[in-house]
């Protein structure tokens, strides 16, 4: 074998060995354990957060440890020192409070989406509820989130608004005697105050109650089972503002900020929209309407008899 051939073979062997070392090092780097970040998210974000989880983890070599609960409960956990990297609340006022306590990274938080309050009904609607006024009738069993939970807070505000406008003879928006003492009559029918809105949805779907106050996003997610709901007019409704921020005690602020940035990106906004977030408050006519949802993002409107109630 001539010397040139031997030299070429030697070079090939060296290059192959070097390539093997590089490949092995790359493989080792790729096998680095994922970085864990703890995401404290409002229960109403359960479905959309879970839908985004796998892709974010894969793209960022991350593992999301998601803690889902009422925004108020999550806030309380953070204040007493529970380790968390990201907080996503269904009420941005909790972010304001965290910032006032100097618990947010760089003293910053963002409003990233919104939601709309509705009344949800079981698929068979045994009480034949067709309007908000039906909720005040004796014998109707209602579930709400506790008043300290964002969904419960918004429910309480809505009931109070109805009392002070539609049920107030001194108001220019007075709608008749059926709305007088409305809040008091509805509260009498509340049989359970849940720790988060997802538990309200569960009670309604199981038929434990006849109606519940929840979010548009909840109804949209469970559309395949044709969960019914009654819309609430913008006159008395609340548009929930969702806030998010990175916690000051986060040990992975860069990755945590990447997670927040996803929700403000086009992909994040599109996903939120698909799950019903960002809905605007409805302006309803004098007719009463019940809607049935058929899968995420689509709905079929069912028109029922007109009446004299303003929704």
**pLDDT at residue 141, rounded to an integer:** 98
Which fold, 35-114+241-274? D-Maltodextrin-Binding Protein; domain 2 (3.40.190)
Whether the CB-CB separation of 182 and 236 falls below 8 Å is answered with: no
pLDDT reported for residue 289: 43
pLDDT in tens, 27-86: 544 578 999 999 999 999 999 999 999 999 999 999 999 999 999 999 999 999 999 999
Q: Using the structure block, give the residue that is written with the tokens 């990175």.
A: 246
| Residue 205: pLDDT band with limits 50, 70, 90 | very high
Outline where DSSP puts E strands in the chain: 35-42, 62-69, 86-89, 110-121, 142-145, 190-194, 211-215, 228-231, 239-246, 289-293, 299-303
Beta carbons of 182 and 175 less than 8 angstroms apart: no
**pLDDT of the residue at 305:** 27
CATH number of 115-238+281-303: 3.40.190.10
Q: In the numeric block, which tokens belong to residue 16?
A: 């192959």
pLDDT tier, 222 (very low <50, low <70, confident <90, very high otherwise): confident
| pLDDT tens digits, 270-307 | 999 999 998 666 554 333 344 444 444 434 333 222 22
Percent of the chain beyond pLDDT 70?
79
The β-bridge partners of 303 are 289
The model's pLDDT over 254-272, given as tens digits with 9 standing for 90+, comes to 999 999 999 999 999 999 9
What is the rounded CA–CA span in Å between residue 306 and residue 247?
51
Sign of the Cα torsion 220, 226, 231, 237 reads negative
DSSP for 115-158? EEEEEEE-TT-TT---SGGGGGSTT--EEEE-TTSHHHHHHHHH
Task: Show me where the domains of the chain are located.
Answer: 35-114+241-274, 115-238+281-303
CA distance 97 to 182: 32
pLDDT given at position 89: 97
- pLDDT for the residue numbered 107: 95
Selection from 227, 240, 84, 228 nearest residue 149 by Cα: 240
Q: Which residues are CB-neighbours of 53 under 8 A, at least 6 positions away? A: 64, 66
Asked if residue 18 lies in contact with residue 28, where contact means CB atoms within 8 angstroms, the answer is no
Annotate 201-228 with DSSP letters as a single string: HHHHHTTSSSEEEEEHHHHHHTGGGT-E
| 109 pLDDT tier (thresholds 50, 70, 90) | very high
Q: pTM for this structure?
A: 0.80
Helix and strand counts by DSSP (H, E) for the chain? 10, 11
Phi-psi label, residue 276: left if phi above 0, alpha if psi -120 to 50, beta otherwise: left
Question: What average pLDDT does the segment 22-26 reach?
Answer: 51
CA gyration radius for the chain?
26
Q: One fold for both 35-114+241-274 and 115-238+281-303?
A: yes
Residue 224: predicted pLDDT: 53
**Three-class DSSP category at 140:** coil
Q: What is the pLDDT confidence band of residue 18, given thresholds at 50, 70 and 90?
A: low
Q: What's the Cα-to-Cα distance from 207 to each of 194, 195, 212, 232, rounded to whole Å? A: 15, 18, 11, 22
What pLDDT does residue 284 have?
44
| Alpha-carbon torsion (275, 256, 66, 109), positive or negative | negative
pLDDT digits (tens, 9 = 90+) for 150-204: 999 999 999 999 999 999 999 999 999 999 999 999 999 999 999 999 999 999 9
Look at residue 221 and tell me whether its pLDDT is greater than 90: no
Q: Provide φ and ψ at 144, rounded to 5°.
A: -135, 160
Mean pLDDT, rounded, of the chain? 85
* Residues in Cβ contact with 80 at an 8 Å cutoff, skipping those fewer than 6 apart: none
């Amino acid at each position: 074998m001539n010397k040139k051939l031997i030299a070429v073979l030697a070079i090939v062997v060296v290059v192959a060995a070097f390539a093997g070392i590089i490949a092995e090092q790359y493989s080792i780097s790729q096998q680095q354990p994922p970085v864990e970040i703890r995401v404290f998210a409002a229960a109403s974000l359960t479905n959309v957060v879970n839908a985004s989880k796998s892709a974010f983890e894969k793209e960022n070599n991350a593992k999301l440890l998601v803690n889902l609960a009422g925004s108020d409960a999550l806030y309380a956990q953070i204040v007493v020192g529970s380790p968390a990297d990201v907080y996503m609340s269904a009420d941005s006022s909790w972010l304001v409070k965290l910032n006032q306590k100097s618990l947010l990274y760089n003293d910053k938080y963002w409003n990233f989406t919104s939601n709309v309050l509705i009344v949800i009904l079981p698929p068979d609607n045994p009480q034949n509820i067709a309007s908000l006024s039906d909720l005040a009738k004796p014998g109707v069993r209602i579930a709400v989130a506790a008043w300290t939970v964002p969904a419960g807070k918004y429910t309480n505000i809505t009931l109070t608004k109805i009392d002070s406008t539609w049920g107030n003879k001194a108001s220019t928006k007075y709608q008749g005697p059926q709305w007088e003492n409305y809040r008091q009559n509805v509260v009498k029918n509340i049989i359970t105050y849940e720790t988060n809105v997802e538990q309200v949805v569960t009670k309604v779907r199981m038929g434990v109650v006849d109606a519940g106050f929840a979010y548009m996003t909840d109804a949209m997610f469970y559309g395949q089972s044709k969960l019914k709901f009654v819309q609430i007019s913008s006159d008395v409704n609340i548009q929930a503002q969702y806030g998010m921020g990175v916690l000051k005690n986060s040990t992975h602020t860069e990755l945590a900020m990447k997670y927040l940035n996803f929700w403000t990106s086009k992909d994040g906004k599109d996903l939120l929209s698909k799950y019903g977030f960002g809905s605007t408050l409805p302006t309803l006519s004098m007719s009463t309407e019940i809607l049935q949802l058929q899968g995420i993002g689509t709905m079929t409107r069912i028109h029922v008899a007109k009446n004299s109630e303003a929704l």
